[in-house]
Chain A
Amino acid sequence: MSNERMLMKGNEALAEAAVRAGCKCYFGYPITPQTEIAAYMSKRMPRCGGVFLQAESEIAAINMVYGAAATGVRAMTSSSSPGISLKSEGISYAAGCDLPCVIVNVQRGGPGLGGIQPAQSDYYLATKAGGHGDFSVIVYAPSSVQEMADFAVKAFDMADKYRMPVMILSDGLLGQMMEPVVFPEIKNNEPEKDWACTGHNNQRRHNVVNSLYLKPEELEQSNIERFKKYDTIKQELPEAETYLTEDAEIIVTGYGAAARIARSAVNAARAEGIKAGLIRPITLWPFPEKAYADTVDTAKAYLCTELSMGQMIDDVRLATSCRRPVRFFGRTGGVIPTPAEILAQIKLIKEELK
């Protein structure tokens, strides 16, 4: 059964992969469009010796993840945009305690309660401002149901490897759609966690998981240590997919659902003789700067497409050192752009380049 192609919703594929990756505790609270994750976990977890708990709120759920992760088990929570705002305090605490855990955001339109249709307007929230304090979380951006599954496994592995929270930044489109998925073979990459609070029976010094440092020098030192780890991650982890970029004059870029639509537009542009290509960031933090730097000599312009008013575009400008014009096209609030709309933008840029 493990190598069979199965037709599943993105939310369900992610949940199943998380279980296979050894997730033992799931804490959640319902919100469209991610509720299938919680529903799936409620059925699956009791059958594999895990814990499913519907918390009284998103805030409770993330703090349950904090507690479970402190004991060294693989723990996960999921929500959609407004719920992730609520979780941000807990995410900051987990980061401050260097706790490995996985947080899934199946984005919907905002701000406020916003709407329930797909959006990508939490890029800043995920990559820049996941909570208070000096910290980052690793952010993976799946673009297919297969990647919803693959990145769930990767998220747990990277969370443990670097001892920090990892976010999967998805959206309502990927969560709700069904595609064939093949579940990856799982290698047990869970390291020994000698820092975990598992009871010491007076046999060893007790472990402490805490983010409170009242002496400024100690807090500063802990932040400096953490940022050394971030430097390593920036070397090791950035990942992007490039498509037809070698000879591309116009490079379209976007992540997740936007990248799928952009890819259709790039194919349509090529069919009309326009040299277009695509850069799709897979990790949003660390941002795959090299994929952009590698193209900046040959490309003439970039077009950033998002299901937002424009957030990732900042990182594209930085990654290209503002050496080429970076245009933006996005739809927001739950409206999904069409390939034709993006193609029209590509053509506009092509005209300007003449």
Chain B
Amino acid sequence: MTSEIQLAGFGGQGILFAGKVLAYCGMLSDREVSWLPCYGPEMRGGTCNCSVCLSDEPIGSPVVNDPDLLIAMNEPSYTKFIGAVKEGGYAFVDSTLVDSEKLRDDIDEFRVPATRLADENELKGGANIILIGKLIKETGIISMDDIEAAIRKIVPAKKAQLIENNLRAIRLGYEYSE
């Protein structure tokens, strides 16, 4: 099975980091993984996206054109990518920053006020990880053990306090219901 994931939002929202967390999870569960950033001439505040593939087979193209799963963290990303999600796929949308009506009825779309939840819980910048918590809950493509191990692996030792924050963010997203 291959899961093709697109993550998109503003620069600074941790899109690339969230993608890296997912790729690490895949690697820890012995799957083939790829992570590809869109490396245009973007700058802070501009749009940013990245492609992650998790698969049981060698990954051909690392470019995700039609994602199985979309994480959209702002309005332009939502409108740009929602149409490309495969029928029967999933979208996880930060409803603090996305106002538009749901545009698809042939996919499972979950809206989580991730930025607001992050602010209320003193997890500034944790909206990306909150959405991953929801993704884990709804899709089961990654286990809680793997995500915890991935976060412990990626967060540098000198920023150890961020490990606990990220784990809290995962649980917030996992437990959130609309």
Contacts and interface: CB of A to CB of B under 8 A. Distances in A.
Contact of A339 (B34, B40, B60): B60
B27 A32 contact: no
A116 B40 contact: yes
B31 to A, nearest CB: 9
Contacts of A338: 61, 63, 65
B23 A260 contact: no
A63 interface: no
B92 interface: no
Interface in B3-48: 20, 23-24, 27, 32-37, 39-41
A173 B51 CA distance: 12
B61 A264 contact: yes
Contacts of A173: 36, 62-63
Given A5-B27, A7-B20, A7-B27, A177 B41 contact: no
Interface string A335-348: 01011100000000
B59 interface: yes
A109 interface: no
Contacts of A340: 65
A340 B33 CA distance: 21
Interface size class of A (residues with CB under 8 A): 20 to 34
A333 interface: no
A338 B61 CA distance: 8
A173 B32 CA distance: 17
Nearest to A33: B39
A179 B39 contact: no
Interface in A203-232: none
A178 interface: yes
A20 to B, nearest CB: 21
A261 B35 contact: no
A261 B65 CA distance: 12
A136 interface: no
Given A267-B60, A339-B60, A7 B35 contact: yes
A279 to B, nearest CB: 15
A179 B62 CA distance: 10
Given A5-B27, A7-B33, A172-B39, A177 B60 contact: no
A260 B61 contact: yes
A267 B59 CA distance: 11
Contacts of B63: 173, 261, 336, 338
A336 B61 CA distance: 9
A180 interface: yes
B33 A179 contact: yes
B33 A180 contact: yes
Interface in B35-84: 35-37, 39-41, 58-63, 65
Nearest to A145: B34
Most central of A116, A176, A261 by chain B CB within 10 Å: A176
B60 A180 contact: no
A336 B60 CA distance: 13
Contacts of A275: none
A299 B100 CA distance: 53
B39 A116 contact: yes
Contact of B59 (A7, A117, A260): A260
Contacts of A74: none
Given A5-B27, A7-B23, A7-B27, A176 B61 contact: no
A335 to B, nearest CB: 11
Contacts of A24: none
Nearest to B2: A264
A87 interface: no
Given A7-B33, A178-B34, A261-B61, A116 B41 contact: yes
A176 B33 contact: no
Contact of A260 (B20, B24, B41, B60): B60
A5 B153 CA distance: 12
Contacts of A32: 39
Given A33-B39, A173-B36, A180 B27 contact: yes
Contacts of B24: 7
21 contacts: A7-B27, A173-B36, A177-B36, A178-B34, A178-B35, A179-B32, A179-B33, A180-B32, A260-B59, A260-B61, A260-B62, A261-B60, A261-B61, A261-B63, A263-B60, A264-B60, A265-B60, A338-B61, A338-B65, A339-B60, A340-B65
The 5 closest A-B pairs by CB, nearest first: A264-B60, A178-B35, A177-B36, A261-B61, A263-B60
